[in-house]
Structure formats: structure tokens, C-alpha cells
Amino acid sequence: MAEVTPSRLLDRIAEHRYLLTPAGTRVADIVLEEPALVARLGIVEMAERAGTSVGSVNRFCRALGIPGYTELRLTLAEEVARDQAADPDADPTGDIAADADVGATVALLAASSINAVRRTAALLDTVVLDRLAEAVSAAGQVQVFAFGGSADVAHYLATQLTGIGIPTPTTSDVHNAAAFAVTLTPSDVAIAISHSGRARHAVELLDVARDRGATTAAITSSAATPLATAAELTLATTARGSGFRYRGTAGRHAQLFVTDALYVRVAQRRTEETQRLLNLAGAATARYQTGKTSNRSRQG
């Protein structure tokens, strides 16, 4: 295997992520999300964070053509330093300092979201994406489960899919979601969205969906999360954290990118029906915006 240079390391990890063992995938996710942190971690700490052994971390390095963990850290440190030299105002840890001025704050927020989408695109398993798109396109209904900050993303996806003719109920009320979930059949799809992948209700609802025979999918930050474990299909996102919680914003942008990719791949499978419904929606919206409603609407 060719030597991994600093400029190619993160791209190479992203490219080979889905060829790795489950333990290697967990290590890869941590490296991709927090390269500056990994450059400072000892191998024992790294193994503990990834929930694996020191030997698995070393095997991850060798799978990438790197002799060992020390060389991985050095390569990451060089890459982070090079990136920071190109943009001196960027904080490689992803944190926004309390005394940062408005320009630096805005720049770091923008960089965080851009990097989240870029890394998610590099990590996205397109085979899984198309498997899910095929299942959604053929589904009798799709249910989307999400809570907290991810609920807005679930509502967005549900609106998009419903708009092209695929009934997609969603709710952020866990009791209503449970009532929805028990109506699923083997011809349906359930999608759970959670950045942390540890939202207990989302995991439990996927379990219900699986018991009902529905296809289950997760949109989450890592294939190593409980939510991903509960799902048949997982689409992974990635976003780095911050002391001021802009991780939520970057994570949401990554989630929206994945939902857009899913929506487009579904729409491509039903082009005529999608275009027909979008045209009808556009015409209805235009009438509403211009005030040209029907007599029946005015009388109502």
C-alpha cells in the first residue's frame, strides 16, 4: 500500500472507512471527527474512546499503510498544523473562544458547517443510500422518528417525501410516535434521526418497527451508536463539537445534507410523479400567493 502523506490521510480514512472492521470503523469515526484531539491522545486513551483494544488501533493504522499509532499521530498533527497555517484564524479544536470577535466567530461557524457537510459526503455509504432510497420509493408509508434538535430535520424530510407522493407521518411526541409505529407493515420504512445516536426513544421505536417487519434505517453520527445497531441501514453524518454548542448547527446541516441526498435519489426513481406533484403544488401555492382562490374557498 502506498505511503500515506499528511495531505491525503483524512481523505484516505474516509474513503476506506467502510472496508474496515467494526472496531476499525469506530477508530476512523473518532479520527475524522476530532483529528486535532487524536493527535494528542495516547494509544490507550484512543482505544478506550473507541471502545476497542490497543491491538485494534494498531491494526487500523496498518490497514491504512501506517506503521503504527505514533506515525498516525504525527501525520495528523502535521495535517492539522498545515490547515491552521492556511487559515490562522481557525481553531483546530473546533471551539469558539469566549473572547473571539464577531468575524472569527462567524468564520468558525461557517467552517464548521462546511466541514460537516464535506466530511459527511466523504463518509456517506452510497450503496446504503440507494438501498434506502429504493425501499422508500416502494414503501406504502415512511415514518420518521426524531426528538429534540433532530425533530426539525425529521419534519423537513417528512414534508419532502409527502410532497412527492410518499405518505410520511412524523411527530416529536413519543406517545404519538409509538401509536404510529405499531401501524407499520413489512411494506413500510421507519427512519430514526439522532446526531448522538443514543436517543433512547428513537432506538425503542426502531425496535418496534423491526418487530412489525418494516425496513429500519438510522441517520446518525456513527455506525457504532446504539441507534445504528438497532437499524438495518445506517447513513452516517459527522460534525465536530464546540464549547458553545454549535455542534448542533453543524450536525443539523450534515443531517439535512443526508436527507436531501435521500430525497433526490427517491425522486429520481419516480420522476414523472414527482414532477406532476411539484407542478400541482407550485400552481396551488401561486394561486394562494396571488389571492386567486376558488369561489368555493372564498365561500368557506
Whether residue 47 is found in the same domain as residue 130: no
Q: Residue 45: inside a domain, yes or no?
A: yes
pLDDT value for 100: 78
Tell me the C-alpha distance between 274 and 270, whole Å: 6
Query: What backbone torsions phi and psi does residue 247 show, to the nearest 5 degrees?
Result: -55, -40
Whether residue 171 is found in the same domain as residue 78: no
Q: Residue 39: inside a domain, yes or no?
A: yes
pLDDT value for 114: 82
249 pLDDT band, cuts 50/70/90, is confident
pTM of the model: 0.72
The domain that holds 234 is classified in CATH as 3.40.50.10490
Q: Residue 31: inside a domain, yes or no?
A: yes
The domain that holds 9 is classified in CATH as 1.10.10.10
For residue 50, the surrounding DSSP H or E stretch is: helix 43-50
- For 134-143, the pLDDT digits (tens) are 999 999 999 9
Question: Does pLDDT of 1 surpass 50?
Answer: no
Q: Output the CA angle 134-206-180, nearest 5 degrees.
A: 90
**193 DSSP 8-state letter:** E
pLDDT value for 4: 42
Q: Residue 289: inside a domain, yes or no?
A: no
Q: Residue 155: inside a domain, yes or no?
A: yes
Question: Does pLDDT of 290 surpass 70?
Answer: no
Task: Tell me the average pLDDT across 39-66.
Answer: 93
Task: Tell me the average pLDDT across 100-129.
Answer: 84
Tell me the C-alpha distance between 114 and 135, whole Å: 29
Domain range enclosing 2 = 1-91
Tell me the C-alpha distance between 159 and 33, whole Å: 30
CA-wise closest residue to 122 among 267, 262, 254: 254
Question: Does pLDDT of 43 surpass 90?
Answer: yes
Whether residue 132 is found in the same domain as residue 86: no
Task: Tell me the average pLDDT across 222-247.
Answer: 74
3-class SS at 106? helix
Pick the more confident residue, 240 or 151.
151
DSSP string, 167-181: ---EES-HHHHHHHH
Question: Does pLDDT of 243 surpass 50?
Answer: no
Question: Does pLDDT of 7 surpass 60?
Answer: no
Q: Residue 157: inside a domain, yes or no?
A: yes
288 pLDDT band, cuts 50/70/90, is confident
C-beta atoms surrounding 268 within 10 Å: 12
Pick the more confident residue, 198 or 207.
207
Q: How far is residue 95 from each of residues 32, 66, 105, 197, measured CA to CA in Å?
A: 16, 29, 10, 22
Tell me the C-alpha distance between 85 and 279, whole Å: 49
Question: Does pLDDT of 86 surpass 60?
Answer: no
242 pLDDT band, cuts 50/70/90, is very low
